[in-house]
Each structure stands twice: as structure tokens, then as C-alpha cells.
Chains A and B, each alone.
Chain A
Amino acid sequence: MDRKKLYKGWEEQASKELRDKNLEDHFWETPEGIKVKPLYTEDDLQKISHEIGVPGLPPYTRGPRATMYTNRPWTIRQYAGFSTAEESNKFYKEGLKNGVMGLSVAFDLATHRGYDSDHPRVVADVGNAGVAIDSIEDMNLLFDGIPLDQMSVSMTMNGAVIPVLASFIASGEEQGCPREKLTGTIQNDILKEFMVRNTFIFPPKPSMRIVADIIEYTSKKMPKFNSISISGYHMQEAGANQVQELAYTLADGKEYIKSALERGLNIDEFAPRLSFFWSIGMNFFMEIAKMRAARYMWSKIVKQFNPKNDRSLALRTHCQTSGVSLMEQDAYNNIVRTTIEAMAAVMGGTQSLHTNSFDEALALPTKFSARIARNTQLIISEETGICNVIDPLAGSYYVESLTSSIVEESQKLINEIDEVGGMVKAIEMGIPKMRIEESSAKRQARVDSNEETIVGVNKYKPTEKQEINILSIDNEEVRKRQVSRLQNIKNSRNNKTVESFIEKIKNAANSDGNLLEICIEASKNRCTVGEMTSAMESVFGRHNLSTKTISGVYKNSVKNDGKIDIIDNELSKFVNKKGRRPRMLVVKMGQDGHDRGAKLIATAFSDLGFDVDIGPLFQTPEEAAKQAIENDAHVIGVSTLAAGHKTLVPLLMESLKNNEANYIKVICGGVIPPDDYPFLYDLGVSKVFGPGTNIQEAAIEIINLL
């Protein structure tokens, strides 16, 4: 039958069902700006611009392996780490007994930022948001009883990547596993740190050199180890939409290829060992299309560098379900969300997967929540039959069409980056970060004005409070233990040798010696992560991020449902009484680099009419107090997500008191378990705003508070 006639018939029928409404009104414009139609047909398949192909062959749109899950399912790899190495080691073993197939280490923020546990700037950070690793001794404990020649280990480490990877390699050898046998991945993706993840240490230039040192070393000496995990995950979590995530990540990848080539490496020596990392959110089909588009585009990008080996063109990836999609309110809903996201990752053809726990927005997972997260994958893998067919959505009118749209939209963003001279340049100019923050502000505006539904948060709110047991870490105790272990190491090692290694590291930093190679030896001789970092820091310097802010995006995207008028009204009353607008200093203290919330609060509150001061990342409580006093802020808004609040907020209050500045109010926001609220209120904190806070309602409360 004539297709044209057929579709015409559908249109007429659909219009009838819609009565006076227009079919065009049923087009969905996604946050990426892609127009999705209500129906896709064979015609759409004719218009796609990418090649579909077959799995295991270029351009790999359908998957990097010919057999995919039909031969072996994806690797269940749960990201975990907390407290001391011994505690984390126990947790890993428990997981491995119950279905986990690969390890993924989460380090604490002190380690990320290259500070030993006894450094004064990390009193609130040791062991809190990951495991504390100060030296090879800690590494040995972390992998005690886990044979590294059989277990693939992924490590999320970027800032202190040299000393940490070095300690890992050295620890493997002390365990009896030679370096060429080590399997796994080091994240080693510094570019996205400057953009969204914020655990950089050195300025961009020396940081890129370090990336190349690692690619060079592993490609020569560790053939089974992935030298880098080029990550879009953190971008989406920081607010990027899927097109931005894809485009900026591929652009980062291009940059890494260029710097490895500049090192004199051959493309086929290292390209097969580059891996990727995506976040998988709630937009089910978009995520699947993104993963397919990514494989297609990467193969085209690498092709430009003329590889001989087809494996160089294949994109392999790890995925993690999205943490930001998970809510504190009605937390069991998160199990459902994670399941849907995990399905998307699998349909998209991931090589390994982490599923989040339902207590994601409260704290690190407990044994119980971690078990459910793990089982989510086991159920998909072993109960559904999904693994029996490769790339099951290929050929779908919708999915293929969406894949093409994503390819086209991402290409535009990549072109923009190319025009300014590549990702390093673009990051220096702050372009991607600004774009991502715009997306984040738009999203919040949609949620705040109920245009986007989050079940249990802005719709169908639960009437009863659920009690959820959460993991709580006695960070003071962990710190004491780490400090005494450090003391022991420093007393028992040969300090002369250590000093000579520190000198060697400095020399290598100053010349073109391979920093990883030297640090492996230094680790074996008990140089600590902090010592190796400060040796490099003495040459490279420590990088400060210059904070840029956006304005107007929130206000322009929000629908005024009356709250804005209330705020305007309250504000003018306030100004008439106090002679100026309410002034709020938004601070980030400690090594917590989660700045999405803080940036959002700052831009949205200023859009709403507050005078907002924004502090730099990594402040100490004393510095925050000084800034609040000088600026004469009415209120300090502490944004805290990495569990430092119980140490840092008391210090802030004390610092205000010492300066006779108790008249400055303090409020807190971020990931704060409800059990901690009384503790904060007792200290004199006026109000706590948890995840899912509606910003306009918060603004009204704050004006009234002042």
C-alpha cells in the first residue's frame, strides 16, 4: 500500500482524536532542543545521517564487540569506598561474594586533592566521602586478600593521579602481581575536573602533561590497563543535557589523543585503551540513542588520525545511573528510577555498570541499600532475557532518528569548541562550564515551577515520613587512625631515601622525566601521597579556579505562579526597613567540590533580587567568616554535600563568635541527613534546606528569617 496515503490517514485520525487541539502541540521539545514527534515511521529511517552497521565492526554504532552480552554480560562494577582501607576492603569482599564482578574505588576528598590525612585543610574530609589513602600501606590493606592479577580495578582518581596510581602499581607488585598483569581503569580525565568535578590540583598545562605521562607509561608497560576514562558522567550530574555531555566528552577525548600523539606515541598504541564513562538519566530513549551516537561519532573522530587497527575506533564505556535523578523525599522511589536507568544503559550496550543506591541523596550506601542496587543489575541480567539479543532497539524508527538528531546536535557543539581552538582553550574561556550551568538553572526553574514532575518531590508528595537507616562515619576517629598510621610510616621508613625521591620527583617535574615511573619507586619507599603531590606542587603550583557566574537564566525560565510576586513584595518591604537588599554569602568549605547547588543558589537568588556574594571553593571556616563580616552579609548560606558539615559548621559558628559577629545568620543546604538537623539547630543554625528544596519557597523563608 502507498505509504504516503497511509500516513495521511494516520494524521487525519489523530487530529480527530485530538479534536480542536493541534498535532504540532504534541511535539516534545527536549532540554537538548530536539523536537520529538508523536509518531516515527519508515520515512524517518530514510532520513538518518549515521550508519547503523553491525556490532563488532566499524563504525561500531551497535556495539564494540560482535557478541556483546550474548557471550558475556556487562561487568557489574559498584563504585564504593569509605572510612579506612580495612573497612572498605571488607565492603568489597562482601560485594564480590554477592555478584559484583569488578572493583571501583572511591577515594576521599583529601586524597583526591593530594593532601595526607594530617593536613590542616582536610580535618572535615578524611574518610568521609570515600576511602582515605595516604600511602602504599593503605593500598596494601585496601586490596588485602584480593588478587590483583585476577580482579579488574577501576579507580576514580584525577588530581592526585600520579601518586595514587603509583601506590596501586607498587602495591600490586608487593602482592606479587607484576604491573603488566594489572587490569582495570584509571579515570585520569583532568579536563572535566576543571569543568565540573573540581578535584584538580595543578594548573591545566602541567595537568595535561601528567595525563600524557600516564598514557605513555601504561601503553608501554601495562597493556591490559585502561589509561583514561573520558567522562561525561560528571557533566550530566553537574547539569549538562545529553547533547552537551556527549559533545564535550568527545571533544575532551580528541584533546587527549592530540597530547598523546605529541608525545610521539602511535595512535594504535593507546587508542584501544581509551575508555569512556556516561551518566544514564531518566530520559530513557535519549540515553540509549546517546550511547549509540557516541560510538558512531568516536569512530569517525579517531579515523581522522589514521589508525591501522580497527580496535582503535571502538568506543568502550562504563555507565552509572544518574545520582541527581535520585531524591531524598520518598526515597524508595529511587529504586524504580535506578532500574529504568539501568535498563537504558544495558539497551545502549554498556561494558560495565554501576547502579546507585536508593539512599543516594542522604549519605553513602549502607550494606542493605548497596545490596538492592547490586541486585537490580543481577535481575536485569539474569531474569529478563535481555542479554540474549544484541542492540535490540536498532532499526527502531524513533531510536535511529533520535540517534541521528543527537549526532547532528553534538556535532554543532564540537564545531564550536574546534572554532575556539579545542577543549583546553574552551575550558580556559569557561564556555562549557557556563553552558552546563545554564542547563542546570533551566532544569531547576522547570522543577520549581512544576513543569517537570518529580514524583514525591513536587507532585504526589508522601504524607508520612519514612525512617531510613543511613551510613554514618565517625570521621574524627578515621582521621586519628590515619594520622597515627602516617606517624608509624614516617618513623619506620628510611627518611634519607624519601628525601632523595622527593628531589627526583621535583627534577622530573622540571624536566621531561616520566612522573609515574619515578613515583612507583617512591611509593615502594613509603613516600606518601601528600609528599609526592607537594613535591610536584613546588614546581607546578596549585591551581585556583576563577569562579564565573551566570545571571538571568533562572528568572527567564521560571514560570511565575505567584511566588515571584510574593518575593518582590517581601523584598521591597525588606529594603524599606533595612535600607538594602538581603545580602547572602554562599560558601563552600573544606575539600567538597560539589558546586552545582551553590552556583544554582547564587544565580537564582540574585535573579530573585538578593545581593549574593559567592565564595571560592575550598574555604576554611575562618576565611568564610572573614568574608561574611567584611561584606556585611545578613546571612551565610553554607552548601555542604560531602558530609563535612558536622565538623565545619561548628568551626564557622565559633569563628563568627570570636569576631563578635553572631548577628550574621547561618543557614545550611545540601546533602544533610535529617538526623543531623537537631545538631545543627543546637549550634545556632537558623534553617536547613535539603535536596529537592524549591528555591522560591526558600527565598521567602530566608527573607522572613532576616
Chain B
Amino acid sequence: MKLKSYLKLFKISNIDFSKEIGISSVSLSRYISGERLPEKKILNKIFKLTDGLVDANDFFLSSSSSRDLSEIHKEEIKKMVLNIREGKLKDLAKAITLIESSLKLHNAQADFLLSKFKQNKNSLRVGITGVPGVGKSTFIETFGMSLIDLGFKVAVLAIDPSSKRTGGSILGDKTRMMKLSVNKNAFIRPSPSQGNLGGVAKRTSESIRCLEEAGFNIIFIETMGVGQAETTVYDMVDIFLVLLLPSGGDELQGIKKGIIEMADVIIINKADGNLKNTAEITMSEYKNAQNMISNIREDISPEVFLCSSTESFGITKIWNFIRKFEKIRRDNGSFYKTRIKQQTKAIWRNIIMQSQDYIENNLKYKDSVKKIIKDVEKNNFDVNNASKIIFDSILKRNT
């Protein structure tokens, strides 16, 4: 990190800092501006004082930080913010694209955009998971339309799995949300996950903030109930719905026990036609299972509901429960506390994701690293030593 940014972040004045190192504030300004380079002794002091955040490289290597946006870009984004608040779908859509983009410039623009947003405390973020075909999109269609009738503005982020091999994707959720997708009080955005679930989580929680800024007050996040997408989504929503089919146990549905334990609401969908009886049996099974784990929550226990998304059955009961859930959590303060905890989690998740990204796309391709690995393969070098050296190189923050 540049010294200038460090001082700004920690709100330390130039004078105070120069005193600590024992140099004149004029010299310090010269180091900061790059006019002069600090000598070894001074560098060491700065390194220690800043807990390692500012080191020699920050003086010797010039930064090409794309975080610094041009004024033109900033103006564009500011306009975008205004348009989003005014409810222009086009700008909202473009903002989400910036967030999802793999370009550094776009991410910088997105960061700037998000920095203009306020925290939204009134929205409700609803996570929905379940195996493909259980009826998530159909449920959102029916549920979403009834919420719009009640006066809400409803947004949906649907995360689709990209095919790993080609990287392309085919996104068809909207065909199951026919009424919702053409309603002017609804906004639906399906996004390809591109195999990177950590990335999805980061991007999705930022997209949620865009939607909230645009005035959407109920936000659905639809994910597949397989892989790890649902745990990451769990960490960004206020309430978590798990949809199940009217049949068999968890194994049969390809759902992990852990997910059932995360559920705030369990919905047995497709409780219609000749599946109705099976649905009732499934419901009582889950009710029994629920008794054993419900004590985890002190304020409100998860509940199991029967539902038919195609026949609008059970929707009102589910909504009443969600309202009750929200009220209890808002009243006891845990609603907002959870969001704050989720933010902390997000920090660590982002760090892990970026490290992984750095390892996959950068570190593995370094000549030195490749050579070390070759040596290990030839038995010229032992694994522990090799990993230690490579890890040290990460700490040295090679760019």
C-alpha cells in the first residue's frame, strides 16, 4: 500500500508520522510524492510502524493502480447512480454487468458506484434453494406476483450453473417467470456462475445493493441446491427457503443434511394432483426431523409448509410466516446484527477468493514456481520446503 493511502486510511497527519520516524515533514512529503527515495534505515522504520502494510516496493515500484478512475469515468458512474435511483432499468442492468465483469476497470467502476450507495435497512433478502426442477423459478413467479399485488417491488437474481467445459451457459429461468418478467414492478437478472462460486457470492451481494438502491424491497436469490452455492447464498440473505419435492429423504433429493439445517423455511412444493398425498407424508417426515434441530434457534423455529406453485396453494401461509420471522428478528435486533456478521464473513470470503484467484491465474504460472515444482517432481526438493518458499513469495506480495 502506498504511504499516502495508509496515512489517509488511518487518519494520521504527515507531521505526526514524520515525528515518529524522526525526519522532517518536508522530507516525508518528498518520499510520498516520489521525488526522493527513503534509505534503508527509514524504510525499516516505516515497515514496522505500518505493520508491514507499507514496504520498500511501495516506493520503488510505480503503481498502475486501476483503482484510480478518471474523472470522466467518475462522472459517468455518478450519473448512473442517479438513474438507478430514478428506476431506470437500463442503468441498473449495466451496473450489475460492471459488478460481474472480469475487467479491473469495470470492478473499479463498480467499487466507486457502490461507495455512493447508502445502507438499506428496509429490504428483505430471500434466499431460495433446491434441486433443479423442484420449482424454484415457478415458486418465485407465483410468490413474487402476489407480493407485487401487495405493493412490493420484487427483484430476482437467478444464478445459473455454467457448463465448466465450454464456459458458456444457457439461462432459461425467465421462461418460468412469465408474468413476473413482464411486470414493471419486477426485475429479474439471471447470471452465469462461471464455475466460480466464491465470485458469485461477492458479485451477488453487490448486485443486491444495486437492486436495493433502485427501490426493490424484496429480493430473491435463486440458486441450485447442489455444490456449495447455497452456503454462500445463505451468508447474504435475511431468510433462507429450501424447496423440496414430495418424496423420499434428503439423499433421494440429492440434498445435503447441512442445507436442511440452514433452512428457515422448508417448502414441500408440487403438493398438487396425485403428488398431494406424498407431499403430506414428506411434510410430516420433515416436521419430525425438524423437532430434533429446531432448538438451535432461540427466537423463531423453522417451519415446514406444503405448497403448489402452479396452483398458488400455500403461498399466503408462507408469506405470513416470513413476515412473522422478519418482525421477530427486527424487534430483537438480530436482523441487522446478522447482516453485519455476514459482512465480516464476506471480508474473509473475498480474501480467500482473491488468494485462490491469484494462485490459479498468477502464481502457478511463475517461472520460479514452475521450476521448484519440477525439482520436487524429480525428487530434488522436498514438499515442505517447496511449499514454504512458494508461500513466502505470496507474502512478499509479488505483483
Interface residues of A (CB under 8 A from B): 544-549, 551-552, 555, 575, 578-581, 602-603, 605-616, 623, 626-627, 629-632, 659-661
Query: Does B166 lie within 8 Å of A544, measured CB to CB?
Result: no
Q: How far is the CB of B178 from chain A (nearest CB, A)?
A: 5
Task: Give the distance to chain B from A435, nearest Cβ to Cβ, in Å.
Answer: 17
Residues of the A chain whose Cβ atoms lie less than 8 Å from the Cβ of B189: 630-632
Q: Inside 8 A of A545's CB, which chain B residues have their CB?
A: 175
A626 to B171, Cβ gap below 8 A? no
B169 touches A575 (CB 8 A): no
Decide: B167 and A547 in contact? CB cutoff 8 A. no
- Partner pick for A614 among B103, B138, B170, CB 8 A cutoff: B170
CB < 8 Å neighbour of A581 from B93, B103, B106, B167 = B167
With A547-B175, A606-B168, A627-B174 known as contacts, the answer to whether A632 contacts B163 (CB < 8 A) is no
Query: What residues of B have a CB within 8 angstroms of the CB of A627 in the complex?
Result: 174, 181
Residues of A within 8 A of B190 (CB): 613, 631
| List of B residues within 8 angstroms of A552 by Cβ | 163, 165
CA distance A603 to B172 in the complex (A): 11
Contact pattern, B 113-147, Cβ under 8 Å of A = 1, otherwise 0: 00000000000000000000000001000000000
Task: Report the bound CA distance from A545 to B89 in whole Å.
Answer: 27
CB of A613 within 8 A of CB of B171, answer: yes
Among A548, A555, A661, contact of B172 (Cβ-Cβ < 8 Å):
A548
Asked, given contacts A613-B174, A659-B90, whether A580 binds B168 with beta carbons under 8 Å apart, the answer is: no
Q: Is the CB of B168 within 8 A of A605?
A: yes
A580 and B97 form a contact (CB under 8 A): yes
Closest to A634 in B: B97
Task: Provide the residues of chain B in CB contact with A606, threshold 8 Å.
Answer: 163, 166, 168-170
Give per-residue flags for B175-202: 1 if the beta carbon is below 8 A from chain A beta carbons, else 0.
1101001100001111010000000000
- Which residues on B sit within 8 Å (CB–CB) of A609? 166-168
Contact A612 B168 (CB under 8 A): yes
Docked Cα-Cα span, A664 to B176, in Å, equals 24
Q: Give bound CA distance, A180 to B170, whole Å.
A: 52
Contact A659 B174 (CB under 8 A): no
Bound complex: CA A134 to CA B120 (Å)? 54
Given contacts A581-B192, A631-B190, A659-B90, contact A612 B171 (CB under 8 A): yes
Interface core residue of A607, A608, A629 (most chain B CB under 10 Å): A629
Q: A629-B90, A631-B189 are in contact. Are A608 and B168 (CB under 8 A)?
A: yes
Q: Are B178 and A616 in contact (CB under 8 A)?
A: yes
Given A629-B93, A630-B189, A661-B90, do A551 and B181 touch, yes or no (CB 8 Å)? no
Q: Which residues of chain B come closer than 8 Å to A610, judged between CB atoms?
A: 168
- For B174, the chain A residues whose CB sits under 8 A away are 613, 615-616, 627
Evaluate contact between B93 and A579: CB separation under 8 angstroms: no
Chain A residue nearest to B181 in the complex (CB): A627
30 A-B residue contacts at CB 8 Å? A544-B178, A547-B172, A548-B172, A551-B163, A575-B102, A580-B101, A581-B192, A605-B168, A606-B168, A611-B168, A611-B171, A612-B169, A612-B170, A612-B171, A613-B171, A613-B172, A613-B174, A614-B171, A614-B172, A616-B174, A627-B181, A629-B89, A630-B93, A630-B188, A631-B171, A632-B93, A632-B96, A632-B189, A659-B90, A660-B90
Is there contact, CB below 8 Å, between B170 and A602?
yes
Assess the B170–A578 pair: CB atoms within 8 A: no
Report yes or no: A616 in contact with B163, Cβ–Cβ below 8 A: no
Other than A606-B169, A632-B96, give 20 A-B pairs with Cβ distance below 8 A: A548-B172, A579-B106, A580-B97, A580-B100, A580-B101, A606-B168, A606-B170, A607-B163, A610-B168, A611-B171, A612-B168, A612-B169, A612-B171, A615-B174, A616-B175, A616-B178, A626-B89, A629-B90, A631-B189, A632-B94
Q: For A546, A555, A623, A630, which residue has the most chain B Cβ atoms within 10 angstroms?
A: A630
CB-based nearest A residue for B163: A551
Residues in B with CB closer than 8 Å to A546 are 138, 175-176
Residue in B closest to A664 when the chains form the complex, CB atoms:
B90
Within 8 A of A (CB), among B311-367: none
In the A-B complex, the 10 residue pairs with the closest CB atoms = A579-B101, A579-B103, A547-B175, A606-B168, A606-B170, A616-B175, A632-B93, A609-B168, A632-B97, A613-B171
Residue numbers in B under 8 Å from A605 (CB-CB): 168
Q: Roughly how many angstroms separate A22 CA and B101 CA in the complex, as a whole number?
A: 54
**Most A Cβ at <10 Å: residue of B163, B170, B192:** B170
In whole angstroms, what is the CA distance A608 to B166 when docked?
A: 6
Residues of A within 8 A of B93 (CB): 629-632
Contact B169 A611 (CB under 8 A): yes
| Smallest CB separation, A630 vs chain B (Å) | 5
- A548 vs B132: C-alpha distance in the bound complex, in angstroms? 11
Among A578, A608, A616, which residue has the most Cβ atoms of chain B within 10 A?
A616
Closest chain A CB from B25 CB (angstroms): 42
Q: In the complex, what distance in Å separates the CA atom of A280 from the CA atom of B181?
A: 40
In the complex, residue of chain A having the shortest beta-carbon distance to the beta carbon of B161: A551
Q: Are A551 and B90 in contact (CB under 8 A)?
A: no
Residue of A nearest to B179 (CB): A544
Bound form: Cα–Cα A575–B361 in Å: 15
A581-B192, A629-B93, A632-B96 known; A603+B170 contact, CB < 8 A = yes
